[in-house]
């Protein structure tokens, strides 16, 4: 029996999963689509064009940077697309297009590629870009009211705006929206953050597809819910205060899609619990005592910076020592 | 709830190709090449020379080292060479080559050893040693040493019928076809350890083997319990199986006996049964020949030392040129350089693959998804092991307990970035051991 071809002699394992980075990112994109559709419904076509601009800018920035640096192209893994969509979701629908491009380039080049690309960045690119874009605070905190569709072209200065529910909460009062309106997304805010129901739907999809575990979102949202329930402000019932806090602002978007970012969250189970709780504590702290009404993005960025320490402190118990070994010894 | 352990993966089991194929006897091969090292421990020294006539069961290699097992002729005929030959592990190993005379004469030393009830543990250990029995699940640890080192320490005898590697069905077929040999071997082991009970663990994808084994149990069960395990890889890993069945964890660097357990493969049990009831030493074994490149996958019983090429021919040859041939399972088996290599005592399968099932990429890239950490059945962090290995930080590698790695392959299997994580852990483990040895001098 003769074999003409040279056999591959590599070390085990010889089989692997079909899942790869691209398929994971594609799942994240699928999970974000419903939120985009709802956003177009509430804020008009400009929600779509902003998303398209950030995605195009993010992909182009990644392609050009790696080309210039003579590195292999990585746009095929679709992670730049995800960053683009998430950045758009963190902008008001009235944001000018130049700002979208500046944000996307900052996210991809400064936050992601300078640190070595996917998996190497220590801050969430979309959130870091959002923080950077707050260099233009007026543009970043102008929230078009729902159905007051900002024009596709030209100045968005005349768009009718509304206060986000967070502003009311900051003042210790409940916003003028019903819980149902908040849940469906019929209120002012960043274009992808308003509709809790579709974001949760996307989250369930990601959990079912095993792209994420529910650990971080549950710990994060759970911590915010618990703290706001125990410590309400103003003359409102504990339950109302808690529900409005959970459903307002970017908490659901952040907890499901930003805090679970692989590169910038812990890899251990215990670490993910600590990370989620930490994000929750910081969010409530900033919302209660900070000068910004919203605390989600800064909370996640601060916890991003702690991931290395959290991973080190939460290493899994060594197999065969502690609890179980003792139990076995007692048995004998 | 089926019993299980933490971590692990769910690869496609791919057992359908050979699951329903009864074990066939391979047509006697023209020659066999029997390496003098088919076990963990000291290699044997050939006790025959060129021109000698040997019979089935004649001792052709032995060693006086305590951790070793003698080797027997697997066919009758003439010794045509005693020289180093290529071993499946890639190195050249002293081997005895026998030309088959097709007479199948059996050595006069092969005779029944009497009822096992009348044998003492020492008798059983010596019969097992003289029969050259080693662990047939893949590692090849000499069985007599496992028994003697566990005497007085073992309170739980475990039979590993998990067969969790994809493709392989040799244990499964033995459970269906010759359960009395497995059960008989278990009863001999119970007698050796002085135990009144034993537990068989079977994965839930082989439930039909349970009634087959139950039928072979002595009336009243004889203290042998059969437990169902969740189908998950590596359920048949020794430490994982012990945990699934007893909730005990083997301490780092320790043997199963440290937590009162001894684990045996069902084929090993059958070999023990044969050695006691017929006196036949370990000279043949069942091999699953499967994979996408094989024309007609089969379970074949063949003499130890049979060439891989003879097995492939018996399975209709390659339907397409293979790009990889593996001895053992796809998760832990080793790739072969060719088909002119012998089947050794611990070879449970030969798999060959064609087409492009290779999922490796030009530039592996970690995305920090943490899947390697969540699937590691030994609670390790392959992502950080890789990072510190690349920085040659041995102090950190030691803190990450890389020496606990069982090389099951789960981390590399799940990696969406296609990193060679298991391979890295394997090298890191070896480098750390070297580094510590250097430090000690």
- Calculate the average pLDDT of chain A: 92
CB-CB contact of B352 with B324 (8 Å): yes
The answer on pLDDT for B250 being more than 60 is yes
Share of chain B above pLDDT 70, in %: 99
Cβ–Cβ contact B400 with A under 8 A: yes
Q: How far is the C-alpha of B180 from the C-alpha of B186, rounded, in Å? A: 10
**So what's the ipTM on this one?**
0.92
Same domain, B378 and B262: no
pLDDT at A142: 85
Beta bridge partners of B351: B290, B326
Q: Which domain holds residue B422?
A: 371-440
Number of domains in chain B: 2
Number of domains in chain A: 1
Last residue of a domain, one of B277, B309, B333: B277
Cβ–Cβ contact B415 with A under 8 A: yes
Residue B54, in any domain of the structure: no
Cβ–Cβ contact B354 with A under 8 A: no
Q: Which domain holds residue A153?
A: 21-313
| HSE toward the beta carbon, residue A237, CA cutoff 13 A | 3
Collect all residues of chain A within an 8 Å Cβ-Cβ radius of residue B247.
324, 327
The answer on pLDDT for A119 being more than 80 is yes
Residue pairs between chains A and B whose CB atoms are closer than 8 Å: 180
Distance between A43 CA and the closest CA of chain B, angstroms: 34
The answer on pLDDT for B167 being more than 90 is yes
The answer on pLDDT for B287 being more than 70 is yes
Given an 8 Å threshold on Cβ–Cβ distance, is B368 in contact with A263? yes
**Residue among A264, A245, A289 at smallest CA distance from A121:** A264
Mean of the pLDDT values across residues B9-20?
94
Facing A7 at nearest CB: one of B322, B328, B380: B322
Residue B422, in any domain of the structure: yes
Residue B41, in any domain of the structure: no
Q: How far is the C-alpha of A151 from the C-alpha of A47, rounded, in Å? A: 10
Share of chain A above pLDDT 90, in %: 77
Q: How far is the C-alpha of B76 from the C-alpha of B96, rounded, in Å? A: 13
Residue A324, in any domain of the structure: no
Facing A315 at nearest CB: one of B381, B417, B426: B381
Strand order in the sheet with B261-264: B224-229, B198-203, B156-161, B261-264
- Between positions 265 and 304 of B, the ones with CB within 8 A of A are none
pLDDT at A327: 56
**Residue among A258, A304, A222 at smallest CA distance from A28:** A258
- List pLDDT tens digits, range B108-138: 999 998 888 899 999 999 999 999 999 998 7
Distance between B8 CA and the closest CA of chain A, angstroms: 13
Cα four-point dihedral sign B192, B194, B197, B198: negative
Q: Please name the residue that has the structure tokens 């606990």.
A: B404
pLDDT at A153: 80
The answer on pLDDT for B389 being more than 90 is yes
Residue B392, in any domain of the structure: yes
Residue A31, in any domain of the structure: yes
Q: How far is the C-alpha of B213 from the C-alpha of B413, rounded, in Å? A: 33
For helices A215-230 and A238-247, what crossing angle results, to 10°? 140
Residue A329, in any domain of the structure: no
Residue A115, in any domain of the structure: yes
CA distances in angstroms from A275 to A87, A242, B227, listed in the order given: 22, 21, 39
Residue A25, in any domain of the structure: yes
Q: In the structure, what pLDDT confidence band is assigned to residue A150 with cuts at 50, 70 and 90?
A: confident
- List pLDDT tens digits, range A181-205: 999 999 888 999 999 999 999 999 9
Cα four-point dihedral sign A262, A265, A268, A272: negative
Residue B423, in any domain of the structure: yes
Contacts of B260 (CB under 8 A, 6+ apart): A328, A331, A332, B153, B154, B155, B156, B248
Beta bridge partners of B324: B353
Q: How far is the C-alpha of A253 from the C-alpha of A260, rounded, in Å? A: 10
Beta-strand ranges (E) seen in B218-371 are: 224-229, 261-264, 284-290, 298-303, 324-327, 334-335, 349-353
The answer on pLDDT for A139 being more than 50 is yes
Residue B89, in any domain of the structure: no
Same domain, B235 and B127: yes
Strand order in the sheet with B324-327: B24-25, B298-303, B284-290, B349-353, B324-327, B334-335
Residue A8, in any domain of the structure: no
Residue A28, in any domain of the structure: yes
Which residue of chain A has the CA closest to B246?
A: A328
CATH number, domain with residue B244: 3.40.50.11540
Q: In the structure, what pLDDT confidence band is assigned to residue A2 with cuts at 50, 70 and 90?
A: low
Mean of the pLDDT values across residues B420-432?
96
CB-CB contact of A36 with A193 (8 Å): no
Which residue of chain A has the CA closest to B338?
A: A7
CATH number, domain with residue A187: 1.10.3430
Contacts of A202 (CB under 8 A, 6+ apart): A31, A32, A33, A34, A35, A256, A257
Cβ–Cβ contact B158 with A under 8 A: no
pLDDT at A151: 82
pLDDT at A324: 53
> Do strands B224-229 and B261-264 pair parallel, antiparallel, or not at all (unpaired)?
unpaired
**Across chain A, which distance is largest between two alpha carbons, in Å?**
87
Share of chain B above pLDDT 90, in %: 92
pTM for the model stands at 0.93
Structure tokens at B320: 């397409």
Last residue of a domain, one of B217, B249, B277: B277
Residue A89, in any domain of the structure: yes
Last residue of a domain, one of B229, B245, B277: B277
Q: In the structure, what pLDDT confidence band is assigned to residue A332 with cuts at 50, 70 and 90?
A: very low
């Amino acid at each position: 029996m003769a074999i003409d071809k040279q056999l591959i002699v590599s070390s085990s394992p010889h089989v692997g999963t079909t899942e790869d980075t691209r398929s994971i990112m594609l799942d994240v994109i699928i999970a974000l689509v419903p939120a985009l559709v709802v956003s177009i419904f509430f804020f008009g076509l400009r929600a779509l064009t902003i998303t398209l601009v950030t995605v195009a800018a993010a992909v182009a920035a990644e392609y050009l940077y790696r080309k210039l640096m003579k590195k292999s192209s990585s746009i095929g893994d679709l992670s730049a697309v995800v960053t683009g969509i998430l950045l758009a979701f963190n902008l008001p629908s009235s944001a000018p297009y130049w700002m979208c491009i500046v944000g996307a380039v900052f996210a991809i080049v400064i936050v992601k590629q300078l640190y070595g690309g996917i998996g190497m960045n220590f801050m969430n690119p979309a959130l870091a870009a959002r923080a950077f874009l707050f260099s233009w605070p007026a543009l970043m905190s102008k929230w078009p009211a729902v159905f007051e569709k900002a024009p596709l072209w030209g100045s968005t200065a005349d768009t009718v705006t509304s206060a986000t529910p967070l502003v009311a909460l900051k003042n210790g009062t409940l916003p003028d929206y019903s819980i149902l309106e908040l849940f469906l997304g019929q209120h002012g805010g960043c274009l992808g953050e308003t509709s809790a129901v579709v974001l949760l739907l996307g989250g369930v999809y990601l959990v079912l597809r095993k792209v994420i575990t529910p650990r971080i979102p549950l710990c994060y949202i759970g911590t915010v819910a618990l703290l706001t329930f125990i410590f309400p402000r103003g003359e409102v019932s504990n339950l109302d205060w808690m529900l409005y806090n959970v459903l307002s602002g970017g908490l659901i978007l952040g907890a499901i899609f930003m805090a679970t970012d692989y590169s910038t969250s812990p890899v251990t189970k215990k670490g993910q619990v600590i990370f989620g709780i930490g994000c929750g504590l910081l969010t409530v702290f900033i919302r209660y005592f900070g000068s910004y009404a919203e605390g989600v993005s800064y909370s996640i960025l601060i916890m991003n910076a702690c991931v290395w320490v959290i991973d080190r402190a939460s290493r899994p118990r060594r197999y065969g020592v502690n609890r179980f070994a003792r139990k076995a010894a007692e048995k004998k | 709830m089926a019993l299980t352990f933490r971590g692990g993966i769910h690869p496609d089991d791919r057992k359908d190709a050979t699951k329903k194929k009864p074990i066939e006897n391979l047509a006697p091969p023209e020659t066999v090449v029997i390496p003098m090292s088919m076990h963990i421990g000291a290699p044997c020294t050939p006790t025959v020379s060129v021109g000698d006539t040997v019979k089935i069961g004649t001792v052709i290699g032995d060693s006086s080292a305590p951790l070793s097992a003698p080797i027997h002729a697997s066919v009758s005929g003439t010794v045509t060479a005693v020289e180093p030959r290529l071993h499946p592990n890639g190195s050249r190993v002293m081997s005895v080559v026998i030309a088959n005379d097709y007479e199948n004469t059996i050595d006069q030393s092969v005779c029944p050893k009497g009822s096992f009830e009348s044998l003492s543990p020492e008798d059983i250990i010596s019969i097992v040693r003289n029969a050259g029995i080693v662990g047939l699940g893949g590692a090849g640890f000499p069985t007599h040493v496992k028994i003697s080192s566990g005497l007085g320490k073992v309170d739980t005898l475990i039979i590993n019928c998990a067969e969790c590697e994809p493709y392989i069905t040799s244990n499964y077929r033995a459970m269906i076809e010759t359960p009395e040999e497995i059960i008989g071997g278990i009863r001999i082991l119970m007698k050796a350890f002085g135990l009144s009970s034993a537990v068989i663990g079977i994965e839930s994808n082989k439930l039909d083997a349970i009634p087959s084994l139950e039928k072979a149990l002595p009336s009243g069960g004889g203290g042998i319990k059969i437990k169902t395990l969740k189908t998950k890889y590596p359920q048949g890993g020794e430490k994982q199986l012990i945990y699934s069945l007893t909730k005990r964890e083997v301490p780092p660097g320790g043997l199963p006996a440290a937590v009162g357990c001894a684990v045996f493969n069902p084929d090993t049990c059958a070999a023990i049964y044969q050695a006691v009831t017929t006196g036949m030493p370990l000279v043949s074994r069942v091999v699953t020949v499967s994979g996408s490149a094989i024309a007609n996958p089969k379970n074949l019983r063949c003499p130890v030392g049979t060439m891989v090429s003879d097995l492939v021919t018996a399975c209709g040859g390659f339907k397409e040129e293979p790009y990889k041939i593996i001895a053992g399972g796809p998760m832990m088996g080793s790739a072969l350089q060719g088909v002119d290599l012998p089947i050794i005592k611990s070879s449970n399968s030969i798999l060959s693959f064609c087409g492009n099932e290779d999922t490796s990429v030009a530039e592996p890239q970690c995305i920090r998804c943490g899947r390697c950490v969540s699937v590691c059945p030994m609670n390790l962090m392959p992502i950080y092991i890789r990072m510190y290995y690349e920085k040659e930080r041995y102090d950190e590698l030691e803190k990450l307990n890389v020496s606990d790695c069982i090389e099951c392959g789960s981390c590399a299997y799940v990696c969406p970035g296609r990193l060679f994580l298991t391979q890295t852990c394997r090298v890191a483990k070896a480098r750390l051991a070297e580094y510590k040895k250097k430090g000690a001098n």
